[in-house]
Amino acid sequence: MYFLNINKPKGVTSFDVIRELRKRLKIKQIGHSGTLDPLAYGVMQVAVGSATKLLNYLDSDKEYIASIDFGYVTDTFDLEGEKEYIKEPDFTQIKLEKVLKEFIGLTKQIPPKYSAIKYNGKKLCDLTRQNKEINIEDFAREIEIYSIELLEFSKNSAKIKVNCKKGTYIRSLVNDIGLKLGCGATLSELIRTKAGNFTLDKANLISDNLVKINPLDALNLEKIEISDYDYQKVLNGNFIDNSYNVSSDKVLLTKNNKLVSIANLSDNLIKPKKVFKEDE
C-alpha cells in the first residue's frame, strides 16, 4: 500500500499511465486522482494496492502552468480541436491582469463538451462525437480558483500559473478568458506542477525507479500513534476512547509509522472508518 508521484508525459492518456504501471508492477489495484488530458503533462497522484481506498482523502488542490494563444478558439478549447478565427488581439497587459482577477474565488464554470464528465454512464466527449444533443450549461459546476499569476505576456500569447480546487477545467478557464477579452483564447500547453503534496520536481516518469510514498506522507490529516492495546481493538474495527486528545473530525491512526486506520471522532470516541492490515 503506497502512493506514486508520476509525471504523465504528453501525448498519452491518464489511463495509459495506469495500464503501463499495472503491467510493470504486476498489480491490478492501481488508481489515480485527477485526469490529465492527453496534450497535458505533469503530476499524477497514483495509488497502489489498498492505497486506492485513500484517494478521496488526498489533498487534491492543483497548480498548473497554462500557455494561451489569443485570436482564435477551438471546439475542444485546446489544440486538438477545429480552429475558428475570432479577431486580432488588441488588449494590454494591464487589461489581461484585470480580467484574470475576475476569475479568482468561487465561480460557476461550464466544462468543455469534450470532457470525461459522465452523463447516463457515458462520457460527454463520446456523446459529443456521436452528435448527441447535450445542453452543456446543465453541467455547470462551482469551482474555486485561489490565485492566477501572469508569468509571460505578448500580443498573441500569454502564460499563467493557476492555483485551484480540484474539478477546475483549465481549458474552460482559458476559453472564458478569451470571451472576456473579446478575441478568443485557446489552451496551447498545460503542465500540472502540483497536486496536494505531490510536486513536479519530485515526480517519476513511468520508466524511472519509482519512489514509493508512505500514505502518512501523502495525507494531510492529524496523525496519532496508538498503544498496543488500542491497536488490537482498531484491527477488529472497534472504537477506542479519545485519550489522545484528538481534535479533528478525521484522524490517521498509526503504529510503527504505518497507517492502521482512518477514523472519525464522534461523541469523543475514535471510530475506525477504514482499517488496514499489516500485509496491505
**Catalytic machinery residues:** 37
Asked whether 115 and 169 are in contact (CB, 8 A), the reply is: yes
CA–CA distance, 44 with 14 (Å, rounded to integer):
8
CA–CA distance, 141 with 118 (Å, rounded to integer):
13
CA–CA distance, 198 with 169 (Å, rounded to integer):
19
Asked whether 184 and 70 are in contact (CB, 8 A), the reply is: yes
CA–CA distance, 233 with 262 (Å, rounded to integer):
14
Residue type, 182: G
CA–CA distance, 275 with 258 (Å, rounded to integer):
12
Asked whether 17 and 208 are in contact (CB, 8 A), the reply is: no
Between the CA of residue 136 and those of 83, 99, 103, 111, 130, what are the distances in Å?
A: 20, 24, 20, 7, 15
Between the CA of residue 170 and those of 51, 72, 227, what are the distances in Å?
A: 28, 17, 46
